[in-house]
Structure 1
Amino acid sequence: MKVLDRPLQPGDPVAIIEDEAVNRRATGWIVEEADFTPVPVSRIPASLDELFAEIEDKAVAVLCDHRLGRGGNVSYYGAEVVARSNRRKIPAVLLTSYANSDENSSIRRWRSDIPMLLSRGADTAPERLAEAFALAGEECRGIYSEARRPYRVIVRIQSCRYGPEGVVAECVVTAWQPRTTVDVPASMITECLNMPIERLVGKRLSADVNIYSPTAGELYFSDFKMGPGVPSGW
């Protein structure tokens, strides 16, 4: 795919990655209303490399559903597609009906490279899609809004529990909202620290977090490390 050094323009081809035909058609109409050219991907390959090879030279941007494995052998989520596309400097937007249910789990894992999450139905106006692509394009060119800029801060693991998609760590980010817990997939933390999440409960870690995010769903976390210990006497 061609890496753009400019904002998307009317007529630019946008790959639509959606496993359900009815949603693929509906998404194509939204893309057309936003003045882009829809390029539907009717077959979702088993691997991400195959997927990007499928749309290579056909599109300059990506619009992707989140849950792609229905009725097939796809092992990845759309959030990973969008994140990897944006890392490649190909503007990509995530559009899903499961924004509310998945934003703290499978979407959170990739949120640092998903500039804007669109909820199917509520956010499907062409103007919102154009706004999302503009934001993705800016981040691909290294321009970040204050709400998306990461800061190195302390994250405390308050507790952990089992959720629908595995163990979830309930975290407190004092620099964001000190009285609010935020769900983070425990594997995001344990993969960085090589330590069971149970041993990290009560510990203070450091991580890159966009602390000026207006909502918990838009928070992202990356690069967890052990934080400073609590001074004696506290």
Structure 2
Amino acid sequence: MTSQLEGVRTVGIVDDVTAEAEALGRLFEDFDMRALIMPRPEPRATAEEYLSTFPPMDVLVCDHLLRNSWTVAFTGAELAARANSRPEKLPAIVMSTHVGTHEASSIHQWRADIPAVVPKGAESEQVLGAVQYAIEEAAGKVSRERRRFRTPVEVLAVHPEGESPYAEVLVSGWSLTRPARLPLSRLEQDTGTSAGSLPPGTWLRAEVNCYARQAEDLCFTHITLAPQLSEEILAL
């Protein structure tokens, strides 16, 4: 088969399980691309320090949870997000067995800077499509599903427990019936307000990709506190 990714010759792979990294590498090699499996990072290295050790490559694919075999302070989601947001952008996606599970909330806090998240075991067309997404976004071509618009957001409940605390919210521009998860780290960073002080019914404003198909694909940026909104205003 011929590669669907024009101009992509080298793909970097980060996975703490060697067998899984090699299996993914074979997928890309089947499409005439070179796969580079990244070595174990130094135990105290940050995501940026680890990225700085990488050789030249066209795209990066990261497993999310890297702590099964490695002693690291970052996740694959953070690594991919920082690669995508560098001045010299390195297009990066995340592949994980935790897509659609509770563990996915630890991906969500970095989702604004990750063009695509793909479940492990996905068909090659889905993997290559996700890589194409990342390449196009790095070049400034943002897909409809990733474009963010200012919209009201209502806090339904705050869940401060667990490894990835979140607020359950309704995003007015996306759905008035389907709740989504807003990472508390993002909310507190943008508003400067402790999430524990936000009661249910609090209204926010945020830039959100309201054309996202799934709740886990929603990204929240530039979050601010908003006045209480009436039902009449929401109906406009």
Query: How would you bin the TM-score normalised by the shorter chain?
Result: 0.7 to 0.9
Q: 1:81 to 1:9 in 2, by over 3 A?
A: same
Q: 1:166 to 1:85 in 2, by over 3 A?
A: closer
The whole-number CA distance in structure 1 between the counterparts of 2:159 and 2:102 is 16
How many angstroms does 1:10 deviate by? Answer: 6.1
Counterpart selection for 2:21 from 15, 21, 24:
24
Counterpart selection for 2:168 from 155, 159, 170:
170
Structure-2 residue corresponding to 1:101 = 101
Asked whether the equivalents of residues 11 and 35 of structure 1 are also in contact (C-alpha less than 8 Å), the reply is no
One-letter amino acid of the structure 1 residue matched with residue 27 of structure 2: I
Structure-1 residue corresponding to 2:206 = 207
Structure-2 residue corresponding to 1:150 = 148
Q: 1:11 to 1:136 in 2, by over 3 A?
A: closer
TM-score scaled by structure 1? 0.88
The whole-number CA distance in structure 1 between the counterparts of 2:27 and 2:165 is 36
Structure-1 residue corresponding to 2:51 = 52
Alignment of 1:60-71 (within 5 A): 60-71=58-69
One-letter amino acid of the structure 2 residue matched with residue 175 of structure 1: G
Q: Percent identity?
A: 29
Structure-1 residue corresponding to 2:194 = 196
The whole-number CA distance in structure 2 between the counterparts of 1:36 and 1:196 is 47
SS at match of 1:99: coil
Q: 1:102 to 1:12 in 2, by over 3 A?
A: farther
The whole-number CA distance in structure 2 between the counterparts of 1:11 and 1:142 is 17
Structure-2 residue corresponding to 1:4 = none
One-letter amino acid of the structure 2 residue matched with residue 30 of structure 1: L
CA deviations 1:108-140 (Å, max 9, x no partner) are: 11111111111001x2x3222221111111110
How many angstroms does 1:49 deviate by? Answer: 2.6
How many angstroms does 1:9 deviate by? Answer: 3.3
One-letter amino acid of the structure 2 residue matched with residue 204 of structure 1: W
Structure-2 residue corresponding to 1:161 = 159
Q: 1:159 to 1:220 in 2, by over 3 A?
A: same
How many angstroms does 1:33 deviate by? Answer: 2.0
Q: What is the aligned-residue RMSD (CA, Å)? A: 2.1
The whole-number CA distance in structure 2 between the counterparts of 1:230 and 1:148 is 26
The whole-number CA distance in structure 2 between the counterparts of 1:21 and 1:205 is 43
SS at match of 2:100: helix
One-letter amino acid of the structure 1 residue matched with residue 205 of structure 2: S
Q: 1:35 to 1:129 in 2, by over 3 A?
A: farther
Q: 1:112 to 1:152 in 2, by over 3 A?
A: same
One-letter amino acid of the structure 2 residue matched with residue 169 of structure 1: A
Q: 1:71 to 1:156 in 2, by over 3 A?
A: same
One-letter amino acid of the structure 1 residue matched with residue 189 of structure 2: E
CA deviations 1:28-51 (Å, max 9, x no partner) are: 111212331100112133222331
One-letter amino acid of the structure 1 residue matched with residue 202 of structure 2: K
Alignment of 1:4-19 (within 5 A): 8-9=5-6, 12-19=9-16
One-letter amino acid of the structure 1 residue matched with residue 117 of structure 2: L
Q: 1:80 to 1:200 in 2, by over 3 A?
A: same
List gaps (5 residues or longer) in structure 2.
none
Does residue 54 of structure 2 align to residue 38 of structure 1? Answer: no
Question: Structure 1 stretches (4+) deviating beyond 6 angstroms?
Answer: none
TM-score scaled by structure 2? 0.87
Asked whether the equivalents of residues 8 and 59 of structure 2 are also in contact (C-alpha less than 8 Å), the reply is no
